Amino acid sequence: MAKARGAIEVDIEKCKGCELCIGSCPFHVISLEQHVNSKGYHYAYMGNPEACTGCTNCAVVCPDGVITVFRAKSEV
Protein backbone atom coordinates (compact mmCIF):
# COMPACT_ATOMS: atom_id res chain seq x y z
CA MET A 1 0.00 0.00 0.00
CA ALA A 2 1.24 3.47 -0.78
CA LYS A 3 2.12 5.47 2.28
CA ALA A 4 2.86 9.17 2.47
CA ARG A 5 6.38 9.85 3.64
CA GLY A 6 7.49 13.31 4.45
CA ALA A 7 10.60 15.23 5.37
CA ILE A 8 11.39 18.74 6.47
CA GLU A 9 14.31 21.00 5.82
CA VAL A 10 15.07 23.62 8.49
CA ASP A 11 16.91 26.85 7.76
CA ILE A 12 19.18 26.38 10.77
CA GLU A 13 20.56 29.93 10.90
CA LYS A 14 17.08 31.49 10.95
CA CYS A 15 15.53 29.07 13.48
CA LYS A 16 15.08 30.56 16.96
CA GLY A 17 14.18 27.35 18.78
CA CYS A 18 10.75 28.56 19.95
CA GLU A 19 9.50 24.93 19.98
CA LEU A 20 6.08 25.74 18.46
CA CYS A 21 6.72 23.21 15.67
CA ILE A 22 7.43 20.49 18.22
CA GLY A 23 4.00 20.87 19.84
CA SER A 24 2.22 21.12 16.49
CA CYS A 25 3.65 17.87 15.07
CA PRO A 26 1.08 15.08 15.45
CA PHE A 27 3.74 12.37 15.10
CA HIS A 28 6.46 13.76 17.40
CA VAL A 29 8.98 13.98 14.59
CA ILE A 30 10.73 17.21 15.56
CA SER A 31 13.21 17.79 18.40
CA LEU A 32 15.62 20.55 19.29
CA GLU A 33 19.26 19.97 18.41
CA GLN A 34 21.72 20.11 21.32
CA HIS A 35 24.06 22.24 19.22
CA VAL A 36 23.30 25.90 18.69
CA ASN A 37 23.39 28.08 15.58
CA SER A 38 25.55 31.19 15.25
CA LYS A 39 22.99 33.23 17.21
CA GLY A 40 23.03 30.76 20.08
CA TYR A 41 19.62 29.20 19.49
CA HIS A 42 19.00 25.46 19.65
CA TYR A 43 17.41 24.67 16.30
CA ALA A 44 14.71 22.23 15.19
CA TYR A 45 15.60 19.00 13.40
CA MET A 46 13.89 15.72 12.51
CA GLY A 47 14.64 13.54 15.54
CA ASN A 48 12.31 10.81 14.32
CA PRO A 49 12.29 11.14 10.51
CA GLU A 50 10.54 7.80 9.91
CA ALA A 51 7.28 9.14 11.37
CA CYS A 52 7.00 12.26 9.20
CA THR A 53 4.04 12.30 6.80
CA GLY A 54 4.64 15.77 5.36
CA CYS A 55 1.44 17.20 6.85
CA THR A 56 2.95 20.75 6.84
CA ASN A 57 1.65 21.59 10.35
CA CYS A 58 5.13 22.56 11.58
CA ALA A 59 5.80 24.85 8.63
CA VAL A 60 2.36 26.48 8.88
CA VAL A 61 2.84 27.36 12.54
CA CYS A 62 6.53 28.39 12.32
CA PRO A 63 6.75 32.11 13.18
CA ASP A 64 10.04 32.46 11.31
CA GLY A 65 9.07 30.54 8.18
CA VAL A 66 12.19 28.42 8.30
CA ILE A 67 10.64 25.04 7.49
CA THR A 68 10.25 23.62 3.99
CA VAL A 69 8.16 20.45 3.71
CA PHE A 70 8.50 17.63 1.19
CA ARG A 71 6.13 14.73 0.66
CA ALA A 72 6.44 11.57 -1.42
CA LYS A 73 4.52 8.33 -1.76
CA SER A 74 6.43 5.23 -0.84
CA GLU A 75 5.40 1.66 -1.64
CA VAL A 76 5.70 -0.39 1.54
Partner 1 sequence: MEVKEIIRQENMVYQRSSLLTSKPFSYCPGCGHGTSNRLVAEVIEELGIQNDTIGVAPVGCSVLIYDFIDIDFSQAPHGRAPAVATGIKRVLPEKVVFTYQGDGDLAAIGTSETIHACNRGENITIIFVNNGIYGMTGGQMAPTTLPGMKTSTSPYGREVATMGTPLKITEMIAHLDGVNFVSRQAVHTPAAVRKAKKAIRAAFECQINKKGLGFVEIVSNCNSGWKMTPVKANQWMEENMFPFYPLGDIKVDGKLVKTL
**Footprint of partner 1 on this chain (CB under 8 A)?**
5-7, 9, 13-14, 16-20, 23-24, 41, 46, 49, 54, 56-72, 74
Closer by beta carbon to partner 1, 31 or else 54: 54
Query: What value does the CA radius of gyration of the chain take, rounded to a whole number of Å?
Result: 12
Q: Please report how close the Cβ of residue 1 comes to partner 1 at its closest, in angstroms.
A: 14
Q: Please report how close the Cβ of residue 8 comes to partner 1 at its closest, in angstroms.
A: 9
State the Cα torsion 12-48-42-19 to the nearest 10°. 100
CA distance 46 to 23: 13
